[in-house]
Structure 1
Amino acid sequence: MGYRLSDAARAAGHRLHVYDRLGSTNTEALEKARGGETGPLWIVAHRQEAGRGRRGNGWSSLPGNLTASVLWPVAGVEPERVATLSFVAAVALAEAIDRAYTGARATDGPALGLKWPNDVLLGGAKLAGILLEAETLPGGRRAVVIGFGVNVAAVPAEMASRAASLAGSGIAVDAEGLLEHLTDRLAATARVWNRGRNFSEIRGLWLARASGLGSPIAVRAGIETLNGIFDQIDEGGRLVILAPDGMRRTVTAGEVHFGTAATAA
């Protein structure tokens, strides 16, 4: 059937470019921005050969998995609100998977969780990653790209013990069908977000699915590790930890561990 946008996404002005192979869908989207494109423009590749994740990590893309990026317009968005788009994207992806699941099975939805700052978990294992990248272009125009990597059909061998796929969990949806659901839900959650003016509602939706909320957490940033209880995310999307001394500490970036992994960190 091929990749396609939802009716709601098309009505909201989204467009779609599909490629057989790309090095990186995020890189291609940024190249489009440098050429004057403003978006919303989706870039999808059947095969991605040089994908990347957060903190310089690579992202393996297997046949049948979803590799997609969207160049998102941020004119009029306050700079400090741009980063909250990653939470908009995470909520949209979780809702898209819910829809794919209920379309395949008339049962309760899968055990999805959102892990700060950018992962979607299924049964506690990593199902998807989201990468937000921004660039200031000549003339001061900002380009922001949201990248999605979802294990739809398979899990990379190097992640077999700590990752999950939709197919492996009995969710019968292909990458094409999932993209259609995702474009629909991102159009909807972006309307709620309202250029960052209503992040509080997105924050509530994200927290309702938050993995490890209220549990022991350890965040490694460089050579430092901060331990405590995962308390919440604040209005800027920063992680808030209740430290052993009773003080709340705010984290902007780091590697997160929960439960027994947190106590051992």
Structure 2
Amino acid sequence: MFEVVNEIPSTNAALLARAGGGDCPFEGYWLIADRQSAGRGRSGRVWSDGAGNFMGSTLALLAPGETAPQTLALVAGLAVHEAVATLCPGLAHLYLKWPNDLLVGSAKLAGVLLERSGAAIVVGIGVNLAQAPQVEGRATTSLAELGHPVSRDVFAQVLAERWALHLAAWHTGQWPVLRARWEACAVPRGTLVSVNDKAHGAIMGGFAGIDADGVAQLRLADGRMLAVHAGDVDLVGDPCGNGLP
């Protein structure tokens, strides 16, 4: 089910408020906005509301004993990747970057934001279909400027189908299969990345996949493995193998 509104401060905030107030929508419900006046991304970043882009939120309802909830960010990213790949055949260098970005080369195309209220995990997704916001210090792109125009409503339908399929698999214990599919779509292992660690500052290493809980693994220059539980992983090398981005 899709509910489309002309303008709203934030689709995620609206669903969180409803879940917290006891009016929790069902799985399969999507709140989609033409415009967001106070959209947000990870770490409080502004989430651009470019006209023609996809801005929407849905949710997952947790049951006791299920897979670690944070893995749903990766499940959502996989659904976004597959929706883009389905609608834009031939689009090269489409990669998932832990924990929540979809890239084309080293430029950001889409992002995912998870927020929780009780047993409800609200999943916000933004995809640059028509235009790419200018973000200081970050390369961005859109499907339109890449030569793949896709309408918001068509994209929403395909994304909802992929998310529903993967969420059902996640609920039935198929996270190991989804994890393998996510890794197959991720930036190649060995891609040089950096992460800001609170204890040690910026650390660089080669991306080495994710573990069973969806935690990113970095291989350091001395061969040690570092588990990254939180924070942003930024590309230092180009995943396409063309030198620095």
Q: Normalization by structure 1: what TM-score?
A: 0.83
Using the TM superposition, give the Cα deviation of residue 94 of structure 1 relative to its aligned residue in structure 2, in angstroms.
0.6
Q: Equivalent residue for 2:37? A: 49
Structure 2 counterpart of 1:71, which letter? L
Q: Equivalent residue for 1:99? A: 86
More moved, 28-37 vs 215-224: 215-224
CA contact (8 A) 1:200 1:235 kept: yes
Q: Equivalent residue for 1:105? A: none
Matched, 1:113 2:99: no
CA RMSD of aligned residues (A): 2.2
Q: Equivalent residue for 1:178? A: 155
| Cα displacement string for residues 45-81 of structure 1 (whole angstroms, at most 9, x for unaligned residues) | 1101101111111111111011000022112353x61
5 Å matches for 1:1-265?
A: 15-34=1-20, 35-40=22-27, 41-78=29-66, 81-102=68-89, 108-136=90-118, 142-158=119-135, 162-194=139-171, 197-222=173-198, 224-260=201-237
Structure 1 stretches of 4+ moved >6 Å:
none
> d(CA) in 2 for partners of 1:258 and 1:208?
18
> d(CA) in 2 for partners of 1:53 and 1:180?
23
| Cα displacement string for residues 202-225 of structure 1 (whole angstroms, at most 9, x for unaligned residues) | 111111111142122211134622
Q: Normalization by structure 2: what TM-score?
A: 0.89
> d(CA) in 1 for partners of 2:136 and 2:144?
15
> d(CA) in 1 for partners of 2:228 and 2:57?
26
Q: Give the direction of change, closer, same or farther, for the CA distance of 1:52–1:77 in structure 2 (3 Å limit).
A: farther
| Cα displacement string for residues 98-149 of structure 1 (whole angstroms, at most 9, x for unaligned residues) | 11114xxxxx24421001100001232100010011122xxxxx22100001
Q: Which has the higher helix share?
A: 1
CA contact (8 A) 1:38 1:143 kept: no
Q: Equivalent residue for 2:241? A: none
Percent of residue pairs identical: 35
Specify every segment of 5 or more residues in structure 2 that has no aligned partner in the other structure, as ranges: 239-243
Q: Give the direction of change, closer, same or farther, for the CA distance of 1:127–1:160 in structure 2 (3 Å limit).
A: farther
> d(CA) in 1 for partners of 2:125 and 2:225?
31
SS at match of 1:147: strand
CA contact (8 A) 1:18 1:44 kept: yes
Using the TM superposition, give the Cα deviation of residue 159 of structure 1 relative to its aligned residue in structure 2, in angstroms.
5.8
CA contact (8 A) 2:75 2:166 kept: yes
Q: Give the direction of change, closer, same or farther, for the CA distance of 1:63–1:159 in structure 2 (3 Å limit).
A: farther
CA contact (8 A) 1:21 1:49 kept: yes
CA contact (8 A) 1:30 1:71 kept: no
Q: Give the direction of change, closer, same or farther, for the CA distance of 1:229–1:95 in structure 2 (3 Å limit).
A: same
> d(CA) in 1 for partners of 2:226 and 2:137?
34
Q: Give the direction of change, closer, same or farther, for the CA distance of 1:20–1:160 in structure 2 (3 Å limit).
A: farther
CA contact (8 A) 1:38 1:72 kept: no
CA contact (8 A) 1:26 1:146 kept: yes
- Count of aligned pairs: 237
SS at match of 1:214: coil
SS at match of 1:181: helix
Using the TM superposition, give the Cα deviation of residue 190 of structure 1 relative to its aligned residue in structure 2, in angstroms.
1.5
CA contact (8 A) 2:4 2:33 kept: yes
> d(CA) in 2 for partners of 1:124 and 1:73?
33
